[in-house]
Structure 1
Amino acid sequence: MEVKVSRTPRKRKKEYKFTFSLGSTQEEVLVTFDSKGERPYPSKCVLRDPTGREKLVSPKKLIKALKESKKVLISSDERTSSDADEVKSFLRNFQIKFEEVTFCTSCLQRGKYKTETSYFFEGKPVCMKCAIEELKRLLKERIGDFPDFILEKAIKKNKEVRKAFLELVEISEPNEITVFRTIQEKKPKKLDRIEVSSLKIPNKIKESLIRWGINELNEMQTKALNSGLLEGRNLLVVSPTGSGKTLIAEIPGVTRALNGEKFIYLTPLVALANQKYEEFKDKYPFLKVGIRVGVDRLKTKEYVEIRDTSIDCHVIVGTYEGIDYLLRKGREIGPIGVVAIDEVHNLGDEERGWRIRGLIERLKRKYDPQFIFLSATVGNPEELSEELGATLVLDEERPVPIEIHVIPVSGKRKIGLISKLVERESREISTKGYRGKTIVFTNSRRKVEEISQKIMALPYHSGMPYSKRRAMELAFNRGKAKAIVTTAALGSGVDFPASQVIFESLTMGNKWLTKAEFYQMLGRAGRPSYHDRGRVVILLDPKGSFMGSSEKEVLEELLSPGVDRIEPNPIISADFKKESEEILAFLSSGITKSYEDLIEIHRELEFPSTLGKILSFLLEDDLVRYSNGEIKVTRYGKAVSESFIDPVTSREIKRRILSSRRGRCDKCDPLEMAIELKPFTNAYLGEDIYSEIKDKVSVRLFSGTTLEFLSRPRGVNKGTLRKISRLVQKYLSCNCKDSPFCGCGELKLSMEIVRKRIDDKLDPSQISKEFEEDGLLLYSGDVFNWLEEILHLLHGIERISEALGEIKYSKITREIRKRIEDPWG
């Protein structure tokens, strides 16, 4: 039993609290002393049990209990008080040993005892936990919520709560308090490295690698080599960004390309495919490199064609969909030696994961190549490698250390701090001779433009024309800018060699970042060929909140151990549309006509629906036919599959096409059909309207809050009201019962974009400029991408109508498509 002695909060002079603790059981005795000469003695002892009930006990029982106790602790706060001397004298008189300690004053007020009191608040000793609570209270009143690790570091440094508070209020740069942790670099052993010159690969490849400064394989690359890289074994390589994963795919890929087989390198983004295409052309000039990222191509005066789209190449770089199109079409790509799937964690993407899984299975069944799966962020690598049938090569250590800092700063101060951080980083020169450069991640295109202008950095987002984005890539990579500002959506896209990454926001559009996205972006800091270390700075708004969560709560989750689990087989959770599209894709590609093979594929990919249900739907809609023991895709089914249109949606397209012949369809126009399937939604309020109402609405025109406000505007000046009225009259007025939430606005805006393209013969940038007069902001890159998607859908409708024998309808659709593709032709 342990006894702790302290003054009671009551103002009676000689009352002390003796707290007896045994395990979780605790009882208190309130003691008043009566001094008889120099021998103080308890005059009254009141026992208080855990329920708060009190009863008198004899002093003898108190003395007996004290003597039986293992330890008696008395607060040293009363060391100079005559009352404390009285208690100590009493204990000494009865030969009761005691120890003087300092209790946390805040804990004492709550009836708790803590002796770890190295810190102070208002001159009184407190424990770390109470110091943090007091500091939190002070900061919340003035600024907002700070992460606990920052509070603890500030208290340890300053010892006094108010001093820590004053330092945190003025914090404006990374320091020992803001650093969350440092991800240390792994020092590879010389034994783990293999000289490029000793590899059993063609001399041409060795010479190219050495010319590029690659003289030896690092430890992770060596691990891949020892795992069967050159023996044709499938590998899942999980390693941080900048660790040299791509080279692992290149070594067997280029080797087999020289021996007559193709090397296919697949990425999720067109921008990343373009970058790899240029890199491979420069690195391996003795090989023919092609690129496949889509079928339809919008002709513009701004667009610069850089592609060799032929598949008669040694190396084909493409997007997942670009190669899958060739498979679905039944094109013979040729003997494939190696397929690299970059950013394979995209299997976890709800929109694309199931198609990627189907693509992998189609490539495997048709060509049986060696697969090299690459990713920097997989939370369940063992499970994923087993599902993919690949040997795991795991290296979680970085080639350079990364410092992760968190700086709490309000939204208004962020831009000034970003500018200061960028400038400071640019003054640092690594031992390799490179100046520091910064990537700033934010959550919207508008912010990209705003921040880049204010800090004199390069803007980069998918709303920009390709030619402009390419110019920004080259300028940044050649050191012509200190920083580039981009959206979180491009966090796993183009590879910019930066030493510092700044998170201006923890959201991506209208949702919080996931752990996988966060670590993809974080990993952009520091490259072994350029930098000695990477630095990540997270600018946390202490009062920031979104969708019911505070920024602080989200940050704590992002920084907690572990990475998001990737669903190894996303088809498991696919809906019927996706399932039927995948089965049709296998039949369309010519990989099989056998029911037995389909049973195996169905079992391998673990479709939720039965194979019988899927095939019944495909047969019923004449997408496939059963003949002579084989399941054969029809012309209509092949047209649907090549167009990446799911069979459920194609049924409605088919119905409208056939109804148009009978003149009994009011929504049979091919352009209207395509727009209905994919309306333009990336419209934003222009600055002249948004600047006055930004506290009331979202910047996105078609968000619920914006539509609601625009339908009943209030609290705006007359000039803004007139602009809103014109905007509503032109795009948001209709007779629908649930207007403006009916979707008519998207359709009207979409039709106007196409009209400006066809009738006015405008480029995407010119179309974007035209909408400024309506008080709208449309990024030219978004207009370009959407028009290409409409071309893709029109091409699909054209294929389907031709397959159905509706030649006239197909011709009309083709004419519309050609006029959008090239209005000057």
Structure 2
Amino acid sequence: MTVIIAPQRGAYKLLMFDGRSVRETGVFELVKSSRGYRPTDLKTKQPNRRNYQNVPTKKLIERLRKADVRITKPDPALLAFLGDFQITPSTVDLCRICLLEDRVTALSKKNAAKFGRERICLECAEREIRREMGYLGRFGDRSVQHVRSLLESYRDVDRVLALLQPEQREKGQTLFDRLEAVRPIETAHITQVDVPPAFAKVSGVEYLTPVQQLAVNAGLLEGEDLLVVSATASGKTFIGEMAGMKNLLEGRGRLLFLVPLVALANQKYLRFKERYKDLATVSLQVGASRLNLPETRPVGERSTRAQIVVGTYEGLDTVFRNGRDLKDIGTVVIDEVQNLEEPERGHRLDGLIARIKYTSPNAQFLYLSATIGAPSTLAQKLGARLVRYDSRPVPLERHLIFTEKKKKIQFITTMVREEFARRSSKGYRGQTIVFTNARARCHTLADAIGANIARPYHSGLTSQERRQVEDLFSSQKIACVVTTAALAAGVDFPASQVIFDALAMGIKWLTVQEFNQMLGRAGRPDFHDEGKVVILAEPGATYSRTSKATEEEMAIALLKGEMEEVAPVYGVEESSEEFAANAIVCKGDGAEIRRMEAVMVGTTEPVLDLLVSRRLVRWQKGHVDLTDLAMVMARHFIGVERLLLIKDLVGEKDDPLDILAEIDCTVREERG
């Protein structure tokens, strides 16, 4: 039998332990008498022979002498008492909280965690943390598992609790992980690679970045099609410029540079126009606003005949869907190619790539992305060679903090101001991008941070307002922009810090690809020494009644998540839209339409019979004739399901103008 004696609040707790469980317990005190320290009656505080659960002191001494006596700390009075009776105890490290509950748990490196100034067992540590989690809100199972893994990793209760109590936050305690920058590979000077001297002179580049060097090694300047996957700010855009300008200046065709957003297209257009003004003409191809206002007018030249055409996916696709050709294309750059997986536009990008390949079979294709799943599989489907550079140009810290929504504004404001007060070794102040899920929230946060240092930025602003924010940020006159998805796809703001106020866009959770794209905004090698990402997750929060996941669970899933293979999703709606667009480009040749569909990344559904049965196309001897209504379908980016829905509302009408007139009359009647 082992007897364990633990000092507790001026007394001593005694436990009889048989190696598996506690058989008896008791409490006694010691007072100093003429004979030394002796057990005392807890009521009278006088030396007494009957004080240990009505067991005479003599019997207590006998039991101690026969047992293996262990004490939890070398208490002087206790050691003196035991020494008087020739009892030599050993010291044992036990969990204090377990002892309070009459349990014995020996502590070791494998099962102990720091808790304040003491150590306790992992089981008690987890209970302490879960009790705190219960005060803060409803945590999901994934969050509990994550906290348990953090506890096992850190072995520090206070450090884990810092995630749950952000008002007590310390940088080291909220750190989820750190992605280190790797020493870059040796790269060549721009004059040492095979590009035209005139281009090298105006490029603004001295030495290539590692990913640029890898692209050159993979055949970039020999016309190879490449899928380039590398972190944000690693220099992917210049890869497209090198190949595009080389092909242009050496007479192999014009450069087509495509991006997903108008804001990004505007930015690339202005940059290329300034950089290459003496070498090439530059134009912009984006969707035009129906309102002829100063703030909605196009930024630049709109001709499709320029030597460098910068455009959005849909802006360029409109050219094809209206039956026009793009000739003399030598280089095609598809920036942010991970958009192939987007439900709303992935199929359109897939179809657009196929249409460009069909009309420009000799062009060199370069696909760029910072975040993409299964890149080797996608490279194979695109017929491109994969160039992958996984190392970040600067280290990136990722922090996770659990907090209530009402406290987020306070923490965001503090972090933005703290970051703006810092300067990097390059002399630049720290600036922040805050991502949230709604336009209204952008304005709320920006106002709370301070209109003098923070501005909202989203697609609801005019192009003039967005350019003003871009100029203020790039000139370091403001500390922060608060945005929705507008910046996620690559608008080039040199931010050192990214904060997630929400992990949703609208009511939909971010995907792993979107999340990694957004956090990749933090840290630029020319500006910063490191990047920082802070995720503020509200326990139990959700943005849709149909979602079972909670925000803190999504935070963990996104931080640990693996990106899925990029694959456009095709149903009848998407397949019919792309079929009609392809038919316009192929001038109705059925065999050519099938050949174009064969080079698409995704697999379309057969829709010809449906389109014929609904009198949208005529099929004769291998040739497709689109009706006027099918032409409208293709030109306005809609598929057969939505078209038939509109048609069913107005009755059996096939003429687009008749349908439009009928819809107008129906709307007027309802309003009347």
Bucket of the pairwise TM-score, normalised by the shorter protein: 0.7 to 0.9
Name the structure 2 match of 1:400: 394
| Alpha-carbon shift at residue 505 of structure 1 (Å) | 2.2
Alignment partner of 2:262 out of 258, 264, 270? 270
SS state at 1:485 partner: strand
Name the structure 2 match of 1:388: 382
1:641 aligns with 2:634: yes
Name the structure 2 match of 1:77: 72
Name the structure 2 match of 1:249: 240
Q: Distance in 1 between matches of 2:423 and 2:564?
A: 38
Instruction: Within 5 Å, give how 1:575-724 maps onto structure 2.
Output: 575-590=571-586, 593-595=589-591, 598=594, 601=597, 607=603, 609=605, 611=606, 614-651=607-644, 653=646, 668-671=661-664
1:200 aligns with 2:194: yes
Q: Distance in 1 between matches of 2:60 and 2:425?
A: 78
Structure 2: gaps (5+ residues): 7-11, 26-54
Name the structure 2 match of 1:478: 475
Q: Distance in 1 between matches of 2:542 and 2:649?
A: 46
Name the structure 2 match of 1:216: 207
Query: 1:730-772, CA deviations, whole angstroms, 9 ceiling, x for partnerless residues?
Result: xxxxxxxxxxxxxx9xx86xx9xxxxxxxxxxxxxxxxxxxxx
Q: Which moved more, 1:587-596 or 1:255-264?
A: 587-596
The amino acid across from 2:449 in the alignment is: I
Instruction: Within 5 Å, give how 1:520-599 maps onto structure 2.
Output: 520-542=517-539, 544-546=541-543, 547-560=547-560, 562-568=561-567, 570-571=568-569, 574-590=570-586, 593-595=589-591, 598=594
SS state at 1:479 partner: coil
Contact conserved, 2:162 with 2:168, CA < 8 A, in 1?
Answer: no
Query: 1:623-643, CA deviations, whole angstroms, 9 ceiling, x for partnerless residues?
Result: 433345433445553343223
Q: For the structure 1 residues 133 and 74, does the alpha-carbon distance in structure 2 shift closer, same or farther, using more than 3 Å as the test?
A: farther
Query: 1:408-459, CA deviations, whole angstroms, 9 ceiling, x for partnerless residues?
Result: 4433333233222222222222222212211122222112112212222111
Structure (1/2) with the larger helix percentage: 1
1:17 aligns with 2:24: no
Query: 1:682-735, CA deviations, whole angstroms, 9 ceiling, x for partnerless residues?
Result: xxxxxxxxxxxxxxxxxxxxxxxxxxxxxxxxxxxxxxxxxxxxxxxxxxxxxx
SS state at 2:398 partner: strand
Alignment partner of 1:115 out of 96, 99, 107? 107
Q: Distance in 2 between matches of 1:132 and 1:149?
A: 12
Aligned residues: 618
Contact conserved, 2:340 with 2:346, CA < 8 A, in 1?
Answer: yes
SS state at 2:167 partner: coil
Q: For the structure 1 residues 76 and 534, does the alpha-carbon distance in structure 2 shift closer, same or farther, using more than 3 Å as the test?
A: same
RMSD after superposition: 4.3
Contact conserved, 1:440 with 1:486, CA < 8 A, in 2?
Answer: yes
Name the structure 2 match of 1:419: 413
1:186 aligns with 2:179: no
Q: For the structure 1 residues 429 and 365, does the alpha-carbon distance in structure 2 shift closer, same or farther, using more than 3 Å as the test?
A: same
Contact conserved, 2:164 with 2:403, CA < 8 A, in 1?
Answer: no
Contact conserved, 1:410 with 1:543, CA < 8 A, in 2?
Answer: no
Query: 1:291-332, CA deviations, whole angstroms, 9 ceiling, x for partnerless residues?
Result: 111256421254343221111111111111122222222312
Alignment partner of 2:458 out of 452, 456, 461? 461
TM-score by length of 2: 0.80
| Alpha-carbon shift at residue 525 of structure 1 (Å) | 1.0
Query: 1:450-494, CA deviations, whole angstroms, 9 ceiling, x for partnerless residues?
Result: 221222211111111221112111121122212111124542242
Q: Distance in 1 between matches of 2:596 and 2:3?
A: 76
Contact conserved, 1:238 with 1:395, CA < 8 A, in 2?
Answer: yes
Contact conserved, 2:105 with 2:121, CA < 8 A, in 1?
Answer: no
Q: Distance in 1 between matches of 2:479 and 2:551?
A: 28
Name the structure 1 match of 2:42: none
Alignment partner of 1:450 out of 438, 441, 444? 444
Q: Distance in 1 between matches of 2:630 and 2:608?
A: 12
Contact conserved, 1:132 with 1:148, CA < 8 A, in 2?
Answer: no
Q: Distance in 2 between matches of 1:374 and 1:257?
A: 20
Contact conserved, 2:159 with 2:174, CA < 8 A, in 1?
Answer: no
Q: Distance in 2 between matches of 1:14 and 1:591?
A: 93
Q: Distance in 2 between matches of 1:332 and 1:514?
A: 36
Query: 1:651-700, CA deviations, whole angstroms, 9 ceiling, x for partnerless residues?
Result: 455677785799xx999534468x89xxxxxxxxxxxxxxxxxxxxxxxx
Q: For the structure 1 residues 137 and 348, does the alpha-carbon distance in structure 2 shift closer, same or farther, using more than 3 Å as the test?
A: same
Instruction: Within 5 Å, give how 1:432-443 maps onto structure 2.
Output: 432-443=426-437
Query: 1:495-544, CA deviations, whole angstroms, 9 ceiling, x for partnerless residues?
Result: 21111112222232213222222221111111111111112222333564
Query: 1:198-250, CA deviations, whole angstroms, 9 ceiling, x for partnerless residues?
Result: 121111210111xx2x1011111111111111122111111111111111111
Q: For the structure 1 residues 419 and 608, does the alpha-carbon distance in structure 2 shift closer, same or farther, using more than 3 Å as the test?
A: closer
| Alpha-carbon shift at residue 278 of structure 1 (Å) | 0.9
Alignment partner of 2:173 out of 157, 173, 177? 177
SS state at 1:171 partner: helix
Name the structure 2 match of 1:308: 301
Name the structure 2 match of 1:326: 319
SS state at 1:242 partner: coil
Highest RCO, 1 vs 2 (Cα 8 Å, sep ≥ 6): 2
Q: Distance in 2 between matches of 1:404 and 1:311?
A: 43
The amino acid across from 1:235 in the alignment is: L
Structure 1: gaps (5+ residues): 21-27, 44-62, 64-72, 93-97, 677-743, 752-825
Query: 1:20-40, CA deviations, whole angstroms, 9 ceiling, x for partnerless residues?
Result: 6xxxxxxx6959999999976
Contact conserved, 1:194 with 1:217, CA < 8 A, in 2?
Answer: yes
1:364 aligns with 2:361: no
1:101 aligns with 2:97: no
TM-score by length of 1: 0.66
| Alpha-carbon shift at residue 126 of structure 1 (Å) | 1.0
1:240 aligns with 2:231: yes
Name the structure 2 match of 1:340: 333
| Alpha-carbon shift at residue 13 of structure 1 (Å) | 9.6
Q: Distance in 2 between matches of 1:167 and 1:373?
A: 39
Q: For the structure 1 residues 17 and 140, does the alpha-carbon distance in structure 2 shift closer, same or farther, using more than 3 Å as the test?
A: same
| Alpha-carbon shift at residue 397 of structure 1 (Å) | 1.2
What is the aligned-residue identity percentage?
34
Query: 1:125-177, CA deviations, whole angstroms, 9 ceiling, x for partnerless residues?
Result: 51245224314424643688698888998999997x68996997573665221
The amino acid across from 2:360 in the alignment is: Y
